[in-house]
Amino acid sequence: MSTLSQKATRQPVLTLEHITKLYPGVVALDNVDFTVYAQEVVGLVGENGAGKSTLMKIMIGLVQPDKGTITSATGEHLLLKDPATAIRYGIGMVFQEGSLIPNLSIMENLFLCHELDFQKFGLLSKRAMREMAAKVLKQVKVQADMDTPIDEVSPAVRQMVEIARLLWLSQLYQQTNPILILDEPTTVLTDSERETLFAILQDIKQHASVVLISHRLQEIIENSDRIVILKDGRNVTEMAASDASIAETEQLMVGHTFAADRYLEGEQTDPGAEEILNVQNLSKKGAFEPLDFTVRQGEIVGLVGLVGSGKEEVCKCINGLVKADTGSIFLGGKKLSNGSPSNAVRAGVGHIPIDRREEGLAAAMSVAENVNLLVLNRLRVAGMISPLQERKNARHWIAECLIKTPALTTLCANLSGGNQQKTVIAKWLSSRVRFLVLDHPTRGVDVGAKEEIYKLIRQLAHDGIGMVIMCDTLEEDIGLSNRMLIMKDGRLVKEVACPPYKKPSPGDIIEFIV
């Protein structure tokens, strides 16, 4: 019996009906229905801007719907006025960015704001806290010392601590079937950590429900019981995960099929003769040994290797974020200052960071302000920054980079992940950058936004901008690159050509990486 045919006999624990949410110029949710059943993992998918985040924020009380009803398993109509109210009904969310306090310990984060529940005779019982912490951490298979500060543990452990906290709060409020909402839970996890997470979720599913949001469609299909698809703030369909395929799900999400030429290899251009970047004898003790490489005009060079191979530190040296121990970096024949991000920017080196919200954007500023951030001196008229020139420049790059925003004044914090990433790209293009370091440029964005970002990368190459790129998958590295540099244990071990007519297979590359 499929998951959908079981719905009639499975108990709904939360039912959202006719949910509508309007923002100025935007219909975020349009009459959406969404039900969570007992003991299931339901995958929620859709493009950036489809309404997933708004729907989840309504479920945890961060946002109030303009229309619609939310009903509990007992038939009670719920008014979820804030996250504290939602958690009393057993509904909690682990955000992609995390919400733990870095300098507090694992145990302190677990029971933050609920210390009074461990009072005995008016005194805080650390023993009772430790006993409970050991119990709830065992549920999520965390073996770390509970006195360890959160900023000293791995992203996987942090995530499990957040899940454990939500499970404990649900028990505290005597909720028999809590709902855990996980927003892009695998973004920063290794393959083995992903496997561990999903194994734990299958255990948790025996006494809870999970709403899983991810742009990795393969893991949604493999680990969900049911899949719900949103597009443009509306329900598209739902299906049993066992009946779903990646191709069909992508088509339903974006409204069209994808060409076999996913990475637009047919638009790959040959690099020009001019050498844009020249790295000579560069090294960083403990990170990577001396290496040399060049990047030519309009060339995309993929830097490939496992985490810890040294590729991240190489890119940070190019950006000036890390000071190299030896060697030199030349941009257009001019030597860059060692360890100076500001000098790198002035020389024409741009950086699309892995964490766009924290490192790439001023989220509390508008789209126009972010696009213009690096070029304010060029927008002066008679010594004063011209609002007319600001609007003109912002409109140009918003159109060029296909940024979907209700207005120039929309805050970047309110954009979808894909449009935030395109805003970061627009900021650098506006600055007339000559060279770009792209650190996982499609991480956390949907398939439709990925397609647009691939087009932008091809356009950048066509315009003569040289690039070093690190991608989420080996297939993406191969598909986008003209050439790949493979790193292992801090050494540059192999160079592989990636012409559009004869791309290497992942199998050809893996033997050099591991």
Bridge partners, 464 (sequence order)? none
Give the span between the Cα atoms of 427 and 151, in whole angstroms: 31
Give the span between the Cα atoms of 342 and 498, in whole angstroms: 33
pLDDT at 319: 92
State which H helix or E strand residue 163 sits in.
Answer: helix 155-172
Give the span between the Cα atoms of 207 and 260, in whole angstroms: 42
User: How confident is the model over 367-396, as a mean pLDDT?
Assistant: 91
Question: What architecture is domain 265-513?
Answer: 3-Layer(aba) Sandwich (3.40)
Show the 3-state SS of 6-67.
CCCCCCEEEEEEEEEEEECCEEEEEEEEEEEECCCEEEEECCCCCCHHHHHHHHCCCCCCCE
Greatest mean pLDDT range, 10-14, 303-307, 490-494: 490-494
Give the span between the Cα atoms of 411 and 369, in whole angstroms: 9
pLDDT at 496: 94
Bridge partners, 335 (sequence order)? 330
What confidence tens digit (pLDDT) does each residue in 233-252 have? 999 999 999 999 988 888 88
- 53 in Cβ contact with 230 (< 8 Å): no
**How many CA atoms lie within 13 Å of 17's alpha carbon, on the beta-carbon side?**
8
At CA 188, angle to CA 341 and CA 488, rounded to 5? 70
Quote the tokens at residue 353.
Answer: 């960071």
DSSP 363: T
The residue extents of the domains of the chain are 12-254, 265-513
pLDDT at 303: 95
Give the span between the Cα atoms of 402 and 209, in whole angstroms: 37
Q: Would the CATH topology of 12-254 be identical to that of 265-513?
A: yes
Confidence of residue 49 (pLDDT cuts 50, 70, 90): confident
User: How confident is the model over 351-377, as a mean pLDDT?
Assistant: 88
Confidence of residue 316 (pLDDT cuts 50, 70, 90): very high
Q: Is the pLDDT of residue 358 over 80?
A: no
Q: Please identify which residue in the block is written with the tokens 């925003």.
A: 405
pLDDT at 451: 85
pTM, two decimal places? 0.68
CB atoms inside a 10 Å sphere around CB 354: 20
Quote the tokens at residue 401.
Answer: 């980079």
What confidence tens digit (pLDDT) does each residue in 166-197 have? 888 888 888 888 999 998 888 777 778 888 88
User: How confident is the model over 130-134, as a mean pLDDT?
Assistant: 91
Q: Can you name the CATH fold of 12-254?
A: Rossmann fold (3.40.50)
User: How confident is the model over 477-500, as a mean pLDDT?
Assistant: 94
